[in-house]
Chain A
Amino acid sequence: MSRRIKVLFFVLTIASLILSACGQSGDVTPIKVGAIFDLTGATADVGTPYSEGVKGYVEWLNAKGGVEGHPIELISADYAYKVDVAEQLYTQYASEGVVAFMGWGTGDTEALRTKIAEDKLPFMSASYSAALLDMTAAPYNFLVGTSYSDQAIIAVRWAMEDWASKGNTDKPKVALIHHDSPFGQSPVADAQAYAEANGVAFTNLAMPKGATDYVAELAQMQTFGANYVIIQNVSSPAAVLLKDAKSQGSDFQFICLNWCADEILVSLAGDAAEGVIGTIPFAPPSSPVSGHTDPGEFLKTKGASLEAKGLHYSQGWWTMAVMTEGIRRVLKDGKEVNGENIRAALESISNFETGEVTSPITFTANSHRGNNSLTLFKVEGGKWLEVSDFISAD
């Protein structure tokens, strides 16, 4: 017993020595940005390429000389989608003096939004819930991607146009099937209001967690008489739904919102994914836009490719790019780099071009809704191909 204790003490002592020895070396003052990623938790499949995109952008930028001559020091760790770990890491990085923070999912974004407002740290994450657009409740949250509500509205709008273009004179029926969580429910109310205002029959139903098939849900939508089915879920359950629909011979036109409209869906659902429409705020690598050049070339030097990393890589890359633009503007104006100034600088961004990966980003003091439009994509031959210009939700 005593030997084990000694070993334990020894390990702890060494640990504390290493920790205290790792001081920071100071050349040009780096700009510290904190980040938490999900690399081992429930959403690690998409969280990992997103994190690589954020890190890749910082590495690429620093190799080019940083932002206005200052390197960005990205302090990050895995939080495994655990809210309390997110809080620990956030406080740790905040007390180390980060000036901005990159989050990830709905859980951490919601849990941290009051603290980031207190600490005045601009925050961007991959959670696009429209609730974060409330400027009094979430004054430091910025949405780079099109919000889930806007995506669902665009989906309904496209459904109406598509229905009419097929020679129908009546209105289509739309069902929204979603993850049974706040993330899933997020677009329901706005989509319903929009659909009903346009005379479109609308229903929504939840996809039970951990279900192995969705035959019952498909039958419900059949009974409702749905023509279009919008899916707000992540890729693996969405793929199960698509496969079930194919084997049942259902002829719904499926529309995936951004978390199931990715390469993972195509590889999981295979044939069943053909013809699915996706509302994708960040253009996939299969789309030839200029915004893919830099990440693509950067990855080539690393012996990888953007095609292999997928669209979540460019999502991370360009989210970090928008945050960096805020920091760049603060430095350019010769102001002190702190959260408040970065927020003000971000709010001055108007029509920031991301090389058509997203529609141009605009923030104002009254709205942190980066954009309200996106391009629709369709799975053809196992690839997401562009089928529309930018469609707006307004």
Chain B
Amino acid sequence: MISGIFHTTYEKDMALRRTHAQKIRIVIVIVFLLVFPFLANRYALTLANQVGIAVIGAIGLNILVGYTGQISLGQGGFMAVGAYTAGILTARFGMPWWASTIVACFTTALIGTIFGIPSLRLKGLYLAIATLAAQVIILWVVTHWSALTGGVDALVVPDPKLFGIKINTDFNFYWVTWGLVGIVTIAAVNLFRTHFGRAFIAIRDQDIAASVMGVDLFKYKLLAFAVSSFLVGLAGALTAHYRNIVTWERFTVDVSVLYLAMIIIGGLGSVTGSYLGATFMTLLPVLLTNLGRAVKTSFPLIDSILPFVQQAMFGLVIILFLIFEPEGLNKIWKNIKDYFRLWPFSY
């Protein structure tokens, strides 16, 4: 009879996967991800790639917002930096796609750090506005610096190739995206077992206390911005190579809000939550659209109001989630696990 998870040694407590069930689940997930592309059609693969890119972006944002407690509304802008850097380097200077992706990550990390400087003085809503300024400034630069970005016209990026194989087909790019999701996940999970990650969490919980304990706020806040932007830049660069066209309209402030919604609904300060939130927010509208399309054939009259119902549903679901489970999908997932683990004497 189990009433909870109790560790008797430090090794067990520090382990990444603490229970057998966790180990089995991770194997199931990996097997699913490996088999999925062979069974899926192009549409499902497109969705999978969009989810994968969103997961990377959401983990990046979660490191900043969920783990370090620095709110950011600049996500769309930082993704634009990643996408345009990768796009420009490949399209204008003929750099291979993987190299431009790496450079894009570091460039975004640098830009993110610069826009993170106000965080040393500002907190909460004030920081939100400062990062919103980053979003606006970056998009303004992107649309007006036409010599560099192409300005008015979209930037067309040549097809990424590896050993002569075009990798931005939905099937091939799946392996790139989800391979990187795997690497990012392992890196993020382990980050919070190091002193860097623990410093981030200390800053989130109480920055003055963290400072008293010897955490250098200046260094670690900027580091959080850098690490977060690095991953967000990766998500942006992947978008550029995957769709091989970069347009500013993909990186509007809506995107910043959407990603914030992903991590809030998924669960702040949780890598699993980033996965769940990114998947949920990407697939819910798809589900609603397809549901609407299925219903449309039986009830043609609702055709005209359907789009509005979908929008309202989307908003309603988010509100309901926040009311009934403010800690997000990750908490719901935990509750499901606990329900089965502690059955029949859960309370």
Find chain A residues with CB under 8 A from B156 CB: 114, 137
Chain B binding surface SS class = helix
Question: Which one of A87-95, A153-161, A240-248, A365-373 is at the interface?
Answer: A87-95
Proximity string of chain A (297-330) to chain B, C-beta cutoff 8 Å, 1 when within and 0 when not: 0000000000000000000000000000000000
> Closest residue to B290 on the A side, CB-wise?
A19
CA distance A40 to B247 in the complex (A): 21
Interface membership of B243, Cβ < 8 A: yes
CA distance A335 to B203 in the complex (A): 68
Please determine whether A111 and B247 come into contact, CB atoms closer than 8 angstroms.
yes
> Closest residue to B339 on the A side, CB-wise?
A2
Interface membership of B285, Cβ < 8 A: yes
Please determine whether B294 and A19 come into contact, CB atoms closer than 8 angstroms.
yes
Question: Which residue from B46, B152, B332 sits with its C-beta under 8 Å from A5?
Answer: B332
Find chain B residues with CB under 8 A from A91 CB: 42-43, 46, 170
Please determine whether B245 and A111 come into contact, CB atoms closer than 8 angstroms.
yes
Proximity string of chain A (134-172) to chain B, C-beta cutoff 8 Å, 1 when within and 0 when not: 000100000000000000000000000000000000000
CA distance A83 to B248 in the complex (A): 10
Find chain A residues with CB under 8 A from B254 CB: 82
Please determine whether B335 and A1 come into contact, CB atoms closer than 8 angstroms.
yes
Interface membership of A63, Cβ < 8 A: no
Please determine whether B311 and A18 come into contact, CB atoms closer than 8 angstroms.
no
Query: Can you list 21 A-B contacts (CB < 8 A)?
Result: A1-B335, A2-B339, A18-B294, A18-B295, A22-B294, A22-B297, A40-B310, A40-B311, A77-B289, A77-B292, A78-B289, A78-B310, A87-B50, A87-B243, A95-B43, A107-B250, A111-B243, A129-B152, A131-B153, A137-B156, A189-B152
CA distance A137 to B156 in the complex (A): 8
Given contacts A107-B247, A111-B243, A185-B152, contact A88 B294 (CB under 8 A): no
Please determine whether B291 and A15 come into contact, CB atoms closer than 8 angstroms.
yes
> Closest residue to A132 on the B side, CB-wise?
B153
CA distance A94 to B45 in the complex (A): 13
Chain A nearest CB, measured from B206 CB (Å): 31
Find chain B residues with CB under 8 A from A22 CB: 293-294, 297
Find chain B residues with CB under 8 A from A82 CB: 254
Please determine whether A85 and B285 come into contact, CB atoms closer than 8 angstroms.
yes
CA distance A129 to B286 in the complex (A): 29
Please determine whether B291 and A18 come into contact, CB atoms closer than 8 angstroms.
yes
CA distance A91 to B242 in the complex (A): 13
CA distance A194 to B154 in the complex (A): 24
Find chain B residues with CB under 8 A from A19 CB: 290-291, 294
Find chain B residues with CB under 8 A from A181 CB: 143, 248
Question: Which residue from B41, B249, B289, B292 sits with its C-beta under 8 Å from A83?
Answer: B249
Please determine whether A182 and B46 come into contact, CB atoms closer than 8 angstroms.
no
Chain B nearest CB, measured from A363 CB (Å): 22
Please determine whether A185 and B43 come into contact, CB atoms closer than 8 angstroms.
no
CA distance A39 to B292 in the complex (A): 14
Q: What 5 pairs between A and B have smallest CB-CB spacing?
A: A78-B307, A107-B249, A110-B154, A91-B46, A39-B307
Given contacts A2-B339, A77-B293, A182-B143, contact A84 B250 (CB under 8 A): yes
Find chain B residues with CB under 8 A from A111 CB: 154, 243, 245, 247, 249-250
Given contacts A88-B47, A88-B50, A182-B153, contact A110 B339 (CB under 8 A): no
Find chain B residues with CB under 8 A from A1 CB: 332, 335-336, 339
Chain A binding surface SS class = helix
CA distance A182 to B50 in the complex (A): 25
Please determine whether A186 and B152 come into contact, CB atoms closer than 8 angstroms.
yes
Interface membership of A4, Cβ < 8 A: yes
Find chain B residues with CB under 8 A from A88 CB: 43, 46-47, 50, 286
CA distance A110 to B246 in the complex (A): 9
CA distance A181 to B146 in the complex (A): 12
Find chain B residues with CB under 8 A from A21 CB: 294
Given contacts A19-B290, A78-B307, A110-B245, contact A95 B152 (CB under 8 A): no
CA distance A114 to B157 in the complex (A): 10
Given contacts A77-B293, A88-B46, contact A110 B307 (CB under 8 A): no
CA distance A189 to B153 in the complex (A): 12
Given contacts A5-B332, A22-B294, A94-B42, contact A40 B151 (CB under 8 A): no
| Chain B, 45-101, CB within 8 A of any chain A CB | 46-47, 50
Chain B nearest CB, measured from A18 CB (Å): 5
> Closest residue to A14 on the B side, CB-wise?
B291
Find chain A residues with CB under 8 A from B295 CB: 18
Q: Which of B247, B287, B310: most chain A Cβ within 10 A?
A: B247
> Closest residue to B320 on the A side, CB-wise?
A4
Find chain B residues with CB under 8 A from A182 CB: 143, 151-154, 247-248
> Closest residue to A78 on the B side, CB-wise?
B307
Given contacts A1-B335, A19-B294, A40-B308, contact A110 B247 (CB under 8 A): yes
Chain A nearest CB, measured from B257 CB (Å): 12
Chain B nearest CB, measured from A390 CB (Å): 27
| Chain B, 274-317, CB within 8 A of any chain A CB | 285-287, 289-295, 297, 306-308, 310-311
Find chain B residues with CB under 8 A from A129 CB: 152
Find chain B residues with CB under 8 A from A189 CB: 152
CA distance A39 to B309 in the complex (A): 12
Proximity string of chain B (134-164) to chain A, C-beta cutoff 8 Å, 1 when within and 0 when not: 0000000001000000011110100000000
Find chain A residues with CB under 8 A from B292 CB: 77
CA distance A181 to B311 in the complex (A): 26
Interface membership of B185, Cβ < 8 A: no
> Closest residue to A110 on the B side, CB-wise?
B154
Question: Which residue from A84, A110, A186 sits with its C-beta under 8 Å from B50?
Answer: A84
CA distance A91 to B170 in the complex (A): 10
Please determine whether A114 and B336 come into contact, CB atoms closer than 8 angstroms.
no
CA distance A1 to B324 in the complex (A): 9
Given contacts A95-B41, A114-B245, A115-B243, contact A80 B152 (CB under 8 A): no
> Closest residue to A181 on the B side, CB-wise?
B143
CA distance A249 to B154 in the complex (A): 39
Please determine whether A87 and B152 come into contact, CB atoms closer than 8 angstroms.
no
CA distance A114 to B91 in the complex (A): 14
Proximity string of chain A (107-142) to chain B, C-beta cutoff 8 Å, 1 when within and 0 when not: 100110111000000000000010100000100000
Interface membership of A106, Cβ < 8 A: yes
Find chain B residues with CB under 8 A from A92 CB: 43, 46
CA distance A4 to B255 in the complex (A): 29
CA distance A39 to B310 in the complex (A): 11
CA distance A258 to B247 in the complex (A): 23
CA distance A263 to B184 in the complex (A): 52
